[in-house]
Amino acid sequence: MIEYGKNLCSGISVERFLHVVFYSTGKVLNECDGDKGTGKVSLAKNLANLVEESRIYSTDIEVGDGYGDKEIGKMALAKNLASVAQESYDDNEIGKTALAKKLASLIQESYDVHEQKLKPKSHVEVKRSLELRIKKKVKEQFKNGKFHDLMMKVIADPNTLKDAYDCIRVTSNVNLASDGDNLPFESMAVELAKGSFDVEANTYLISTRGARVKKEELIFPKLKLRVVQEAIRIVLEVVYRPHFSKISHGLRSGRSHWSALKYIRKEIPDPDWWFTLLINKKVDDCIFSKLLSLIGDKIEDPGLCGIIRNMFDARVLNMEFGAFPKGHGLPQEGVLSPILMNIYLDLFDREIYRMSMQYETSDSCLAEEHGPHSKLRGWFRRQINRNDVKQYNVGKNTGVRIHCCRFMDEIFFAVSGPKEIALAFKSDIENYLKNSLYLEVDNQADILACSSPLGVKFLGTLIIRRLKESAAVRAVHKLKDKVKLFAEQKEESWDVGAARIGKKWLAHGLKKVKESEIKHLADTNSLLHQISCYRKPGMETDHWYKVLLKIWMQDVNAKSAENEEVILAKNIVEPALPQELRDSYYEFQKRAKEYVSSETASTLALLPGSSSSPDSVYVTEIIAPVNIIMKHLHRYGLINTEGYPRTCHVLILLDDNQIIDWFAGIVNRWLRWYSECDNFSQVKHIICDHVRMSCIRTLAAKYRIHEAEIEKKFDQELSRIPSTEEIELEEANTELISQESQFDGALMYSINYSGLCLLSLARMVSESRPCYCFVIGCSASVSCVYTINVMERQKFPAWKTGFSSSIHPSLHRRRIGLCKQHLRDLFLGNISLQSIDFGAWR
């Protein structure tokens, strides 16, 4: 019977086979019921007939080894089918439907297993599964309210180190099935267990080059130490991540830059004042000792604290408050820096809760006057459910409300209440940071009114509040836009017509000059004939005409005009037009400008029912820094001083796809970062009018052909850079949003918001000087070596522009080798500079 059952797995399509199962089962069971002595052999023959019917049904399918041979095996499926059929035969109560259901469910289970194995896991899923194995080991060490022996039992384990190394490779977008570095995990585990792991020997230093450049140094970990740091990071996150405050949005699962901005936009009702605190302090021994004491409160492990101390002494932690934005994939941000910063600032988060409760509940008299409920009880309810703000009557007239949002070392505050309360609260926060956490605070950050048009800068964007437009206001603005557009169209038509007539006048003048040179056509009484005596002998006709035009332009003071078309329109065309036509045109333009520039309130007063409009409502908006983006496009050579797209000469030596990937990387970052911004339409305009055209002109300069030919030649490749603001941008944004679900604020930290860096081709790799990819975990050979160009170093906090804002100056003009896949990943934002081993060449 097994031999016949094997035929069921010989390459038949599962989808086509399921239809035949329900059709043929009746025949098989009828024969079995009619002959009780048929037995297993007869039933197996009937199953073989069933397979034969499915073969006839699916003649268009190519027969091969099929799904069964690849996933569950022919023999196993045959045995399962035979056992199901035998159960159905032995039990006379099981009818045709039961056998059909069992056969169908068995095939469906096999198909589900096949689909599950064919679907590849995302980077987040792979990294989550790797960290889950370490998490289970960490949880086993929890006893009596603390974690014990994490270094000995968890970190100093070859399997843990191997999983940490695989996590690094996943973050670097390296296939785990490929060959990696042959690290001695066993010996590393022994050294960690004995406490003999030499931290300083596993570091390397990079410093700035040049005699006139300020000397700055940056210490990186070698691969062994990088693996140990990754293992420690995972362990610390397992211990502390569940206990972090909800006002913290950095390095958190399900939280990111946008979760912080969305909280400010949607969950802070009616703030009166807001401000940000700028912390600037390089971690010293005092801060680090306090940090180790905090770690000791939850972890009882001298070995773990000892190796972290050794990293601090070796200056390889690279932990610094301020100085550069965190979470942007900058190489100077250490592997352990984010989790250690969150552990340290968690004290600040808890103090914010205490101060908020103190300020919100201090005015007990107002609490008794304005409501029968306890204000303290209301505060606790709001912490439990902040979304239901209307239930507790939160607003300007209900007393003091304090809101805080923190992403690593960038902190935002919003206060509802008098300015005196906001000033006192800000002073208390600054004193706590200075006296308790030993951090320095920039006093230049002023408290701004939320109604101020200046707004506040946070996480590289601008946060402002504006009056929400009512339906009547929107109708007025829409009408104004239509009037403005109509007036611009009429002005354009007027200018085009005047320019056409002016050019005809110039042609007519040249014709008259030429006729004056012909005796039988010349008019002896004309002005041209009278001034021809001033013409030099042998002067060409065109030259003589230009001299006459030059004299005329000096007479009409043409230097004050914008261009030649304006000169002709004002001095030649318009004076020849009827006075009524000119007056009507200029009167129309005057009225249109007055209407467009008029106050909205005065226009609303003319609308019926405008007096019954509801109270003014303010909304919070997130604004992308468009002006800053344009300045950076000019700095990177994508546009000129006038704002027009130009050739980016640094990229010309790269391959065609690499050039397009570089420009597509800017677009992907903007679509990912600014899609929820309220001025996203301006960003779309920059994408279509500047970035795409700069890419086309760069390729045109490379091949020295016309831009139209470039668009035809690279039509498919250029589709990655949208050319229209409506359809293509919506499709690209939808695709990026679907990819956004694969990102996790904790697992893929610093990748989603890593900026684009500028690489130029340094040299080609020859056989005499081989080179391998610098990305950690990748051993592929490279064909080119590239140079990093550090274009800027913004002050903290930096604007988000799509480019890397604060790459350390020691990496300027450093050469790195990248394979084609990882160069594309770096351009498109799938990896960051943190995945590159800059010490591969020393």
**Helix 285-298 × helix 302-313 angle, to 10°:** 160
Half-sphere exposure of 453 (CA within 13 A, CB side): 0
- pLDDT of 143-184, one tens digit each? 999 999 999 999 999 999 999 999 999 999 998 888 777 899
pLDDT of residue 17: 40
Between 725 and 833, whose confidence is greater? 833
Between 1 and 579, whose confidence is greater? 579
CA distance 568 to 501: 9
Q: DSSP string of 395-424?
A: SGGG--EEEEEEETTEEEEEEES-HHHHHH
pLDDT of residue 532: 76
Least-confidence region, from 9-18, 343-352, 525-534, 718-727: 9-18
- pLDDT of 557-587, one tens digit each? 766 666 777 788 888 888 888 989 989 999 9
Q: Which residues pair with 321 in a beta bridge?
A: 281
Query: Measured at the alpha carbon of residue 730, what is the angle toward residues 725 and 733, in degrees to the nearest 5?
Result: 115
Q: Are 774 and 220 in contact (CB under 8 A)?
A: no
Half-sphere exposure of 781 (CA within 13 A, CB side): 7
- pLDDT of 605-628, one tens digit each? 665 554 444 556 789 999 999 999
Q: What is the largest CA-CA distance in the chain?
A: 131
Edge-to-edge strand order for the sheet containing 146-148?
Answer: 142-143, 146-148, 299-300
pLDDT of residue 6: 41
Q: What are phi and psi of 127, to 5 degrees?
A: -70, -35
Classify strands 146-148 and 299-300 as parallel, antiparallel or unpaired.
parallel
With 50 as the cut, is the pLDDT of residue 69 above it? Answer: no
Q: What is the mean pLDDT of residues 506-524?
A: 77
DSSP three-state, residue 198: coil
The enclosing H or E element of 266 equals helix 257-266
pLDDT of residue 374: 56
Q: What is the mean pLDDT of residues 772-790?
A: 92
Q: List the structure tokens of 716.
A: 């498919």
Q: What is the mean pLDDT of residues 214-235?
A: 94
Q: What is the mean pLDDT of residues 728-735?
A: 60
Q: List the structure tokens of 317.
A: 């932690």
Q: How many helices (H) and strands (E) does the chain have?
A: 32, 17
Between 555 and 798, whose confidence is greater? 798
**Cα distances (angstroms) measured from residue 65 to each of 8, 11, 71, 244, 684:** 11, 5, 11, 53, 51
Q: Are 341 and 347 in contact (CB under 8 A)?
A: no
Q: Are 258 and 250 in contact (CB under 8 A)?
A: no
Return the C-alpha torsion angle 401, 407, 408, 414, nearest 10: -20
Between 696 and 840, whose confidence is greater? 696
CA distance 128 to 123: 8
Chain mean position to CA 373: 45
pLDDT of residue 415: 94
Provide the mean pLDDT of the chain.
Answer: 80
CA distance 388 to 396: 16
Q: Are 568 and 506 in contact (CB under 8 A)?
A: yes
**Nearest CA to 404 among 387, 427, 429?**
429
Q: Are 545 and 508 in contact (CB under 8 A)?
A: no
Least-confidence region, from 392-401, 430-439, 676-685: 392-401
Least-confidence region, from 216-220, 750-754, 787-791: 750-754
Highest mean pLDDT among 73-82, 283-292, 451-460, 675-684: 283-292
With 90 as the cut, is the pLDDT of residue 828 above it? Answer: yes
Q: List the structure tokens of 185.
A: 């995990």
Return the C-alpha torsion angle 757, 758, 763, 768, nearest 10: 0
Q: Are 787 and 707 in contact (CB under 8 A)?
A: no
With 80 as the cut, is the pLDDT of residue 193 above it? Answer: yes
Confidence band, pLDDT 50/70/90 cuts, at residue 671: confident
- pLDDT of 532-555, one tens digit each? 777 888 788 888 888 888 888 877
Phi-psi region of 35 (alpha: psi -120 to 50; beta: other; left: phi over 0): beta
With 80 as the cut, is the pLDDT of residue 302 above it? Answer: yes
With 90 as the cut, is the pLDDT of residue 412 above it? Answer: yes
* Distant-in-sequence, close-in-space partners of 105: CB < 8 Å, separation ≥ 6: none
Between 807 and 75, whose confidence is greater? 807
**Nearest CA to 461 among 319, 267, 670, 758?**
670
Q: What residue has token string 């206990």?
A: 243
Q: Are 299 and 343 in contact (CB under 8 A)?
A: no
* Distant-in-sequence, close-in-space partners of 813: CB < 8 Å, separation ≥ 6: 209, 787, 788, 789, 790
Q: List the structure tokens of 64.
A: 């091969």
Half-sphere exposure of 370 (CA within 13 A, CB side): 16
Between 520 and 479, whose confidence is greater? 479
CA distance 447 to 429: 13
pLDDT of residue 27: 41
Confidence band, pLDDT 50/70/90 cuts, at residue 803: very high
Between 321 and 92, whose confidence is greater? 321
Edge-to-edge strand order for the sheet containing 401-407?
Answer: 401-407, 410-416, 273-278, 448-449
Q: Which residues pair with 248 in a beta bridge?
A: 406
Q: What is the mean pLDDT of residues 399-405?
A: 90
Number of C-beta neighbours around residue 136 at 10 A: 11
With 80 as the cut, is the pLDDT of residue 129 above it? Answer: yes
Q: What is the mean pLDDT of residues 500-518?
A: 83
Between 308 and 106, whose confidence is greater? 308
Burial environment of residue 286 by CB neighbours within 10 A (0 to 12, 13 to 18, 19 or more): exposed
Q: List the structure tokens of 598.
A: 């008029």
Highest mean pLDDT among 76-85, 336-345, 463-472: 336-345
Omega within 30 of 0 (cis) for the link into 418: no
Q: List the structure tokens of 724.
A: 């229209």
Percent of the chain at pLDDT > 90 equals 44
Edge-to-edge strand order for the sheet containing 758-764?
Answer: 758-764, 784-789, 815-817
CA distance 85 to 612: 79
Confidence band, pLDDT 50/70/90 cuts, at residue 224: very high
With 70 as the cut, is the pLDDT of residue 494 above it? Answer: yes
- pLDDT of 625-646, one tens digit each? 999 999 999 999 999 988 899 9
Q: DSSP string of 226-260?
A: HHHHHHHHHHHHHHHGGGS-TTB-TT-TT--HHHH
- pLDDT of 176-189, one tens digit each? 888 777 899 999 99
- pLDDT of 650-666, one tens digit each? 999 999 999 999 999 99
Least-confidence region, from 198-202, 313-317, 689-693, 745-749: 745-749
* The 3-state secondary structure of 122-155, one letter per residue: CHHHHHHHHHHHHHHHHHCCEECCEEECHHHHHH
